[in-house]
Amino acid sequence: MNEFIITIIFIIVLVAGVYWYAGYLTKSGKAEDADGNLIPDSWEEKFGWFFSSKGIIMFALGLILGYFLGVQFPGLF
């Protein structure tokens, strides 16, 4: 069970890092962003589904992490 929690935390950090890096690239001017949504246009063409469902992805990962932390450490919360 601990391995699963560590895996979920790693996935959350990885996904959040991708979202942060996309914003960093566009804010610093290293990547072109024509529509101003902080997603590089080249990434948006290839992985548009990933960025359009950002809220759902992060919500689901947070829900899964919260559930498994609650199961693993019931007296923590």
Indicate the domain borders of the chain: 2-72
Q: What percent of the chain shows pLDDT beyond 70? A: 99
Closest CA to 39 of 55, 61, 54: 54
Least confident of 1-10, 15-24, 26-35, 47-56: 1-10
CB 67 within 8 A of CB 4: no
**How big is the CA angle at 6 (ends 3 and 11), to the nearest 5 degrees?**
125
- Cα 54 to Cα 16: distance, rounded to the nearest angstrom: 10
